[in-house]
Structure 1
């Protein structure tokens, strides 16, 4: 039964907190949580994760053409837009929050429960999290690493199409100083990358992360001049 399986319970709580369940399932889980302190604590934990991601991750701004396309589909008639002035302004934050929730859902499997069921009340381990997007503003890659860990967890939202003879390199882009290599990324699937030091030592002053496609036999001592993917490096604690 889900409530007796730590991993399944944690995923159930995450989907509930992130709004990924149907209305019927959501009501049922809500009733269970009212009677089950462990499930209730797990839901509260994931609600806290979602809230902190929304607060610490800078807004992702899609290209203007994306907003124009959405606005045209929802309000095709100019007259209709005049009758409801300003409605699209408050829709944008709502869509942005929804995007954060969807991306947060990708961390369910990456983070997972760290303790048996009695320990789900504990807070999410302090972590660095990056959401990297392509030049059109589409989220493509999730990167997560515990603050004092030496491993980065990688999850491609859209697997890259690498030209023959090239590889994907993950670079740290400090607010001040030269970019430095964090590791070479696999071309597909969830994976891990071993870091040269702890995330705290490497990323504490890093503002953004970038992915460059470069020759597989190239020199990694020279930073790339351009990046295919780029995103903010957020602190989750």
Structure 2
């Protein structure tokens, strides 16, 4: 599928609206990770549609809506109310109380603060004099689901491996995210709450050259080959 500007614009809007699902959504997320321009298009639609939603005035539902809700929740009560005229005042009072309870619950739910959502991070590991990035890095789906896509990276030579690290802010020790083999497949890395918290502050990753299987000490022992800064997607 060609990434024409028109198709990217349409898919970005569908992605933000939530109507893009299944394999098409996963493919578009890969496009986002590979292209800064596509991530910018998604950002544009997030702000555009967010502003549009803020302009929609609230609409009070008609009384018939509450009646239908009452009939679905308490069908026996509704049928008895219709057939027993002497108890109409009782059912009317119950309906008012039920409606009031539903409205109070709705107000309480609307007043609950929304959980704070950290922005997703993305970036690229680059090297001087190389046109293509070595790796593309992006969180996908939710904070803490990190993807690495090898682009121009080559496997480590000899009996060595690359190891990925979170570089914390200040004087903290680097936190290992494990060995990153180089191949055709995209790497999936699950960050712990501690490593994601550190990454959200520093937004810095590093890659070192280590013995096969990774650092034996829990800290970088070989040369630091690359340091990259990640950027928020929203």
Q: Which has the larger radius of gyration?
A: 2
The TM-score with structure 1 as length reference comes to 0.47
| Structure of greater relative contact order (alpha carbons < 8 Å, 6+ residues apart) | 1
Which TM-score applies when normalising by structure 2?
0.47
